């Protein structure tokens, strides 16, 4: 079982950023189809350990197969906002030496119409990473008020035609259930007066609904809240994001942890007194031209790296 092929984004860059030690303990919080995890395992020695996590049961099935092949690896079926709990259950009690978070969707998720993440093929309007957990997108759209739909499309999709699209959704659902991906995509396409070059008019709407259904920003905030306690001194945080909302959260978190405790202006303090927790490593990293040509889905990826201070 391979669960479909997924090309890991910024693979070599993320491996370099993790500064992998052969006997280290590492955590891949977004296992997907295991591309990053397999590459990490290839750099670990016999005493090294890796824990993978994922909400998607199909990804977890691939993880169980990898765990059966390699005793250094374990997989946890859980949201990454519970990473401290998952790490403790895996026996990572002294802190981890590296945490990798790839916030992108996997190609098998996007390419399978039955998952409802994409309008490339028609399928049920679901969008849940774990189909057994939470409310499907179609069910939320069936009950949400127009103002709430507008807010979600504006805030999570940065959709400038959010009001028009929300009104069209409310009109449509009064006539028939809004149940499929192509039905929603066609509705959005008809509702907006202009389109962004090279982008389907429904792209931002689908992004917004996926973020809502899976509580993606709340999950990321929950993960970041645990990073300081989870990482060992010198441990690396590596986060790959794909839209500005995610990247903004990560950027601010690293900045705030590097600044440490804030004192009133003019008060003389040392770095020790500020107690910074992380230091940023380098600048934001983007895929090179060759990677984007080989994998167009990598074009919006941004990677930020930070190191846990003693």
Residue entry with tokens 């070059």: 197
Q: Which two tokens stand for residue 29?
A: 């919080």
Three-state secondary-structure class, residue 279 = strand
Annotated binding-site residue? 119? no
Strands of 37-126, DSSP E: 49-54, 73-77, 96-102
Annotated binding-site residue? 54? yes
Annotated binding-site residue? 32? no
Alpha carbon distance 295, 204 (integer Å):
20
Q: Sort strands 231-241 and 278-280 into parallel, antiparallel or unpaired.
A: unpaired
Q: Which two tokens stand for residue 9?
A: 């984004």
Annotated binding-site residue? 35? yes
Residues in CB range of 21: below 8 A, 6 or more apart: 48, 97
Annotated binding-site residue? 16? no
**Best CA proximity match to 172, nearest among 201, 152, 142:** 142
Annotated binding-site positions: 34-36, 54, 80, 102, 109
Annotated binding-site positions for S-adenosyl-L-methionine: 34-36, 54, 80, 102, 109
């Amino acid at each position: 079982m391979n669960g479909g092929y997924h090309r890991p984004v910024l693979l070599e860059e993320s491996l370099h950023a993790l500064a992998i030690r052969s006997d280290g303990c590492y955590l891949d919080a977004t296992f997907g189809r295991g591309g990053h995890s397999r590459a990490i395992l290839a750099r670990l020695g016999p005493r090294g350990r890796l824990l993978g996590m994922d909400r998607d049961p199909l990804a977890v099935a691939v993880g169980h197969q990898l765990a059966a092949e390699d005793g250094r690896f374990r997989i946890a079926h859980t949201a990454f906002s519970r990473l401290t709990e998952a790490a403790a259950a895996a026996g990572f009690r002294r802190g981890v030496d590296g945490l990798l978070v790839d916030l992108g969707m996997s190609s098998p998720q996007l390419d399978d119409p039955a998952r409802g993440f994409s309008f490339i093929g028609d399928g049920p309007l679901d969008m849940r990473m774990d189909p057994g957990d939470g409310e499907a997108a179609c069910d939320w759209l069936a009950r949400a008020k127009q103002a709430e739909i507008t807010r979600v499309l504006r805030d999570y999709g940065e959709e400038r035609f959010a009001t028009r699209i929300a009104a069209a959704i409310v009109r449509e659902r009064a006539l028939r259930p809004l149940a499929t991906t192509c039905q929603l995509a066609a509705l959005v396409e008809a509702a907006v007066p202009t389109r962004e070059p090279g982008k389907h008019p429904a792209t931002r709407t689908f992004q917004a609904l996926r973020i809502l259904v899976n509580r993606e920003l709340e999950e990321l905030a929950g993960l970041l809240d645990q990073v300081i306690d989870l990482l060992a001194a010198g441990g690396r945080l590596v986060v790959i994001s794909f839209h500005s909302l995610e990247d903004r959260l990560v950027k601010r978190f690293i900045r705030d942890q590097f600044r440490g405790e804030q004192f009133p202006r003019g008060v003389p303090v040392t770095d020790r007194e500020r107690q910074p927790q992380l230091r940023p490593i380098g600048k934001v990293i983007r895929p090179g031209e060759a990677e984007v040509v080989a994998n167009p889905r990598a074009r919006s990826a941004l990677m930020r790296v930070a190191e846990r201070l003693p």
